[in-house]
Amino acid sequence: MKTTLKIAWRNIWRTPLRSLIVIGSIVLGIWAGIFVVAFCYGLNKQRTTSSIESAISHIQIHHPEFRQNFEGKFVLEEPKALKETLENEEGVKAYAFRSLLFGMINSPIKSNGVQIIGVHKDEEKKVTNLHSKITAGTYFETKRKNAILIGEALAEKLKVRLRSKVVLTFQDQENNIISGAFRVCGIFKTQYTKYDENHVFIQNKDLHRLLKTESYHQAALLSHSLEDVDETTHSLESKLKNYDVKDWKRISPELAYADEVMETWLFLIMIIIMLALIFGIINTMLMAVFERRKELGMLMAIGMNKSKVFMLILTETLLLSLVGAPSGMLLGALTIKITSQTGIDLSVVGDGLQSVGLGNIIYPVIDPWFYAFISILVFVFTLISAIYPSKKALKLKPTEAIRTL
Amino acid sequence: MEIIKTKNLSKLYKNNELEVLAVDGVSLSIRQGEFTAIVGPSGSGKTTLLNMIGGLDAISDGSVEIAGTNINSMNENELIDFRLKNIGFVFQAYNLIPVLTAKENVEFIMLLQGISPEERKKRSEELLTQVGLEDKFNVRPNQLSGGQQQRVAVARALASRPRFILADEPTANLDSQSTSKLLDIMAEMNKKENITFLFSTHDQRVIDKARRIVTIEDGKIISDEVR
Ligand SMILES: Nc1ncnc2c1ncn2[C@@H]1O[C@H](COP(=O)(O)OP(=O)(O)OP(=O)(O)O)[C@@H](O)[C@H]1O
Ligand SMILES: [Mg+2]
């Protein structure tokens, strides 16, 4: 075994350039694989946090039937009692009551369907970061009635500016059409261009005046941390039997499943990288076997048996990836260590990414188990790629060595 | 005692429609300690005959017995094992593993035989000294001359303590000085240690040193002369 290893190792360096090219491609392939994976995880994580922070929060409470078709009549019952329960719940860091209505927004030029969200400005500030997304005007800092916050994308579409007048039209609980004139008090920009286009914020007190009733559809809560969400949800569920209590994973399952869906894709990407490497390795080893066919024939002639010849070629192949893989992993780990601190600024392509809800700076992250996974993957695939050249070597005839002319 | 015994040995090459009877009914006996040259013009079948005797090439007809063992019916793996234990080979070229030193090359065959490291070291140094390469233990083949490489190959062939050594044109690539040096070494091993050599050659100077000369033409033995 020691001699096999020695011969295999020296054989690799008989054609240093060729071996270095294969090793280099293994290093690059694994590095790229690790980086892509970490980048995608970073992307997902970023998307989740930004969704939670900008809109959905950790936990939402509704009338049990509200989420079935979002009808305005399913308001939160006994909001005062509910508020009290939330005040007394340990796990709740902050809460905000919202009214949700579908309606139209009209400017003198255009109209657009929107979700109208009625908020309490101080409550909302504690739960989401809408206030920090204001790019023009203020976050309801006005003494006037009927102030509205609209998204930058919507403002462009409606051709309205700060202090422009817009009209909101919607139905009350008895299906009467209600409309009200609002003045643009602030313009916000989140990471989701689409979201900005379809959501407007007004204050609950203005809405209640128009509806002539004081009701809410949703209570959005923040837990102390992402890890506490499950516990808080369970505790609230048991206390609020007549309400629908849901955590972010159930409110926005696509966020929770994104990791899983992505894992499938990443797995595929890794397999594709591995396949590319396999072809490189097979090609190199076939070349090596072909060039050394006389030598291998001689070895079999003098009495080296087939399993030993097989082991020799196998060892050579494994050595190639044994040199390449750890270097690739080290390089990958290093890259992630650095970029997870500095972040990767994507503002160059930022506008494109924003429309799908991504921020500009991505912080790659990776699970340590992934390195183990990659090690196994590389080992298995190298073994697979070693089989064909090794078998080819076994087909050589010892007489090849003697017939030199 | 007869170490090699062929009976009616024949080899028919079939390539497409073309058939070549390269060896045609050769019956040959070689005894322990003989120093035999197979001679004949190019294409007469020397290599083919040696390959069949050495268990490297399939036999078309007839039989080969090595020290009483018929090798006709052995499969490929059995033949490899048989060669390792019974036959030492010296080829015209590509004898050595390029990435191993002279000593490692000689040790390698003993490693295949499962001989202990101490024994391997001792014997490889001994043999390399005998073939006049005591100062080349740790030199790789590409830094040795053609003649020196062939001497390493002889040392390697001897290292496995075979029943006989088979050498197909061992001097074909050598100049006359290296040729006579190699032949002298082989002859000395034969005389001192009674090692059996069977080799093929074109070279008249090599033929002159042989003690038995088997001449073949068109795959048949046409003369068998002992001196
Ligand atoms: N693999 C093969 N397929 C077909 N014919 C072959 C093959 N090997 C050898 N022959 C033929 O068999 C005959 C004997 O060849 P062989 O190599 O044994 O001769 P040789 O005496 O060793 O010649 P040389 O002195 O040139 O080495 C030749 O006619 C050759 O063309
Ligand atoms: Mg020949």
A216: nearest Cα among A203, A229, A200:
A203
Question: Could you identify the residue written with the tokens 């090699």?
Answer: B4
Closest ligand 1 atom, CA of B45?
Answer: 18
Mean pLDDT of chain B: 94
Task: Name the region of B132 (left: φ>0; alpha: ψ -120 to 50; beta: rest).
Answer: left
Could you state, in order of their start, the residue ranges of all structural domains in chain A?
2-52+256-403, 64-242
Closest residue of B to A8, CA-based? B99
Q: How far apart are CA B170 and CA B162, in angstroms?
A: 17
pLDDT of residue A402: 63
Q: Is the Cβ–Cβ distance between B198 and B53 less than 8 Å?
A: yes
CA B194, chain centre distance (Å): 15
For chain A, list residues with pLDDT below 50. Answer: 355, 405
pLDDT at A270: 87
Q: How far is Cα A187 from Cα A162, in angstroms, rounded to an integer?
A: 7
Q: What is the average per-residue pLDDT within B119-144?
A: 95
For chain B, where are the E strands, in sequence order? 2-15, 18-31, 35-39, 61-66, 69-70, 87-90, 164-168, 196-201, 212-217, 220-226
Tokens of A117: 């969200």
- Give one DSSP letter per residue of B56-115, joined into a string: SS--SEEEEEETTEE-TT--HHHHHHHHHHHEEEE-SS--S-TTS-HHHHHHHHHHHTT-
Residue from A311, A315, A318, A309 nearest A380 by CA: A318
Each residue's pLDDT tens digit, A302-322: 999 999 999 999 999 999 988
Best of B9, B10, B12, B13 to mutate for ligand 1, by most ligand atoms within 8 A of CB? B13
**For residue B99, what is the nearest residue in chain A, using CA coordinates?**
A10
What was the pLDDT predicted at A405?
Answer: 44
CB A312 within 8 A of CB A8: yes
Phi and psi at residue B36, in whole multiples of 5°? -110, 135
Instruction: Give the burial string for A303-338 (b: 16+ CB within 10 Å, else e).
Output: bbbeebbbbbbbbbbbbbbbbbbbbbbebbbebbee
CB A171 within 8 A of CB A177: yes
Q: Which amino acid is at A248?
A: W
CB contact under 8 A, A299 and B160: no
Beta strands A147-151 and A177-188: pairing type?
parallel
Q: For residue B15, is pLDDT > 90?
A: no
The residue to mutate among B44, B168, B221, having the most atoms of ligand 1 within 8 angstroms of its beta carbon, is B44
The 10s digit of each residue's pLDDT in B63-105 is: 999 999 999 999 999 999 999 999 999 998 888 999 999 999 9
Q: Which of A295, A302, A401 sits opposite B109 (nearest CB)?
A: A302
Amino acid at A214: E
Angle between helices A253-291 and A293-302 (to 10 degrees): 70
ipTM of model: 0.94
Distance A102 CA to ligand 1 centre (A): 93
